[in-house]
Copies of this chain bind each other. A is one copy, B any other.
Amino acid sequence: MDACAALGAKFELWRTLQLDPEGCPVRGLLDKLGDRWSTLLICSLAAGPKRFSALHRQIPDISKRMLTQTLRTLEADGLVHRDVQPTVPPSVTYSLTPLGRSFAGPLLGLVEWAETHYPAVLETRAETKRAA
């Protein structure tokens, strides 16, 4: 059975379970990880633990608000560990948990697919635009 058939089979199974978010991992997890910043932060932290301001410098176009919020969500989901040193000024270091690191494999697969096929997608988009 190829990946395509396997995916279809899984979908059929979820469907019989009403596709509710609690029971469907795709909806429960990918909804969260699918936002603009989560995956990017995981990629950044995959290179090693980083402090809040270091993360902010690496991804300049995220606001402090969204950086905080996204990190907290990832922490609540158990993918990221937040280490607070009670010094003055405070120093907070973020790192991937074992669970977060275990996510690197599947994510890398996705990223490699994206790198490989992104040119083709851009080409298709351009054609669609010309046709319109």
Binding site for B on A (CB under 8 A): 2-12, 15, 19, 25-31, 33-36, 39-40, 42-48, 58-61, 75-79, 96, 99, 101-115, 117-118, 120-125, 128
- Residue contact B28 to A40, C-beta cutoff 8 Å: no
- Residue contact A29 to B114, C-beta cutoff 8 Å: yes
Chain B CB within 10 Å — which of A101, A102, A111 has the most? A111
- Residue contact B121 to A77, C-beta cutoff 8 Å: yes
- Residue contact A3 to B104, C-beta cutoff 8 Å: yes
Given contacts A7-B42, A10-B108, 10 further A-B contacts (CB under 8 A): A4-B46, A4-B96, A8-B45, A8-B47, A19-B60, A30-B34, A34-B36, A76-B128, A79-B121, A109-B110
- Residue contact A106 to B113, C-beta cutoff 8 Å: yes
A107 to B76, CA, bound (A): 24
- Residue contact A48 to B124, C-beta cutoff 8 Å: no
- Residue contact B111 to A105, C-beta cutoff 8 Å: no
